[in-house]
Every structure is written in structure tokens, then in C-alpha cells.
């Protein structure tokens, strides 16, 4: 999910631009689908491609509070202030939502994560097509990433 070190933006402005570009690419990608059944299927397929965490990482400390499903985030900040995100869930649709968040935020500078709102959520109409509990969980995941970024 993360770009390799040679292709990652090296400054904050470029990193923010890359995160915005990732969001625009998600919106464009989902624009190819005619209806929400196809979009849900694509979200689930994205989740299937997400690497699994090992059982030792599925601990209470990594659990994201506020999610209907069980969601675990393993977050590591490197020396440059980039946040490496590994995550999973016990629900396939949520795994797909995680995959979307990772495309935008994984490997980004902490300042980028803290100051770049997930505009793709509204642009795709996710809030209107997810249950209220899934919406709450998605917002909890975003808040967890933003909190880790400023910590």
C-alpha cells in the first residue's frame, strides 16, 4: 500500500498533494461502477487484498473503539514522521473501507494525515450508503489515524 522510499514525496506540500491525488483516484475508480451493488463488491474486493495481521497484533491496545466490527490498527511512526499503517477487521466491508483509508494515508507524513480530511468519503457518497453504525466506525477509524498522527 505504501509507495517505496524512492518514490514517496519528500516534503509536506508534495505529500499533501499525493494524498489528495490518491483521494481523487479513488473517486475516479468508483465512478466506473454503475450502481452501489457494484461499488460494494469493489469495496469488499479491496478488503480481500488487504494483508492480514498476525494474531499477536490483534490485541486490545490495537482495537479501534467505536466500530461495530472488530478493527485493529497497528501504527508505527518512522524517523521522518511518516505513519506506517497496518490494519484489518473481522468484517469484509470494513476491511475494504480500511483499504481505502490506507491508499490515502499509509506512509504519509503525520502532518499530512492530521490536515488532510478524507474528502473521498463525501465525494463517493459513502455516508449515504453505509449504515449509521458503519459510518460511526469509519469516522472512528479516521479519528484514530489523526490522533496517531499528532501523537
Q: Which residue has the cell 516534503?
A: 11
Give residues with Cβ within 8 angstroms of 149, minimum separation 6: 83, 110, 111, 112, 113, 114
Check if 67 is active-site: yes
Active-site annotation holder among 19, 26, 67, 121: 67
Closest by CA to 127, choosing from 99, 86, 97, 104, is 97
Q: State the DSSP string of 55-123.
A: GGG-SGGGBPTT-SS-EEEEEEE-TTSEEEEEEEESSHHHHHHHHHHHHHHTTEEHHHHHH---HHHHH
Region of 125 on the Ramachandran plot (φ > 0 left; ψ -120 to 50 alpha; else beta): left
Hey, which residues are catalytic here?
67
Amino acid at each position: 500500500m505504501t509507495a517505496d522510499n524512492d518514490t514517496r514525496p519528500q516534503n509536506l506540500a508534495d505529500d499533501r498533494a499525493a494524498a489528495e491525488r490518491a483521494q481523487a483516484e479513488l473517486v475516479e475508480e468508483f465512478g466506473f461502477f454503475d450502481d452501489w451493488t457494484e461499488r460494494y463488491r469493489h469495496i469488499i474486493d479491496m478488503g480481500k487484498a488487504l494483508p492480514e495481521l498476525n494474531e499477536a497484533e490483534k490485541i486490545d491496545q490495537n482495537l479501534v473503539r467505536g466500530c461495530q466490527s472488530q478493527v485493529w490498527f497497528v501504527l508505527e511512526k518512522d524517523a521522518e514522521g511518516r505513519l506506517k499503517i497496518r490494519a484489518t477487521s473481522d468484517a469484509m466491508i470494513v476491511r475494504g473501507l480500511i483499504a481505502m483509508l490506507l491508499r490515502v494515508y499509509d506512509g504519509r507524513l503525520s502532518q499530512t494525515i492530521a490536515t488532510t480530511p478524507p474528502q473521498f468519503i463525501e465525494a463517493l457518497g459513502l455516508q449515504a450508503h453505509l449504515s449509521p453504525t458503519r459510518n460511526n466506525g469509519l469516522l472512528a477509524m479516521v479519528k484514530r489515524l489523526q490522533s496517531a498522527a499528532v501523537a
